[in-house]
Amino acid sequence: MAVKKGGALTPLEVMDDAAVIPVIVLDDVAQAVPLARALVEGGIRMLEVTLRTPAALRCIEAIAEQVPGAVAGAGTVRSEEDARAAAAAGARFAVSPGYTPLIGAACRQAGLPLLPGVSTGSEILLAQQDGWNELKFFPAVPAGGTAMLKAFAGPFPDVRFCPTGGVTAANAREFLGLPNVVCVGGSWLTPADAVKAGDWGRITKLAREAVALR
């Protein structure tokens, strides 16, 4: 799928671009641009940079400004302030570990498509009440894995998921084989040792393998 050069994306466009959205944790801004370029070279363009470190927003800003082929997004969005700060840094989508209407409203106001985190039927209903039908199933493996997603398919046939949390190269195909799963999220594309060593070739190889999962 072609990535829009500018303007708002839909949550489904974020999910449908590749089989895997990498979950990225960066402590050093200097690593952001070469890491993003390595992933884009491997065919992965939707990049979820988690707001778990003091450097995260600056990393998003660097990727947005210096890697034209990448679509920088913000993960671990936990508040209205996170959503606004992510948008100001240049993020083009947001991912949250859970969901509140305040987060949803802040993302809409900031023009960020959101993948809200859910793990129960009540959480899915809450997200759907606010118009979100493309959701992050988190934490996927501890919350029931593929069995839970199969169970959700009955009462929620209009919902599409991105399972994240315990998803690996070894089990990704099992998740991706479900009709209500569009993509998965995972940290295995950006191993900490490879990032620390600047082994960008390894990361490009992992990205290509991830693209081939679909």
Residues with active-site annotation:
48, 136
Residue 55 carries which side chain, given as an amino acid letter?
A
d(CA 207, CA 43): 6
Give the three-state DSSP class for 14: helix
The span from the CA of 7 to the CA of 18, in Å, is: 19
Long-range contacts from 151-154, C-beta under 8 angstroms, 24+ separation? 152/121, 152/124, 152/180, 153/178, 153/179, 153/180
**In the block, residue with structure tokens 């988190």:** 138
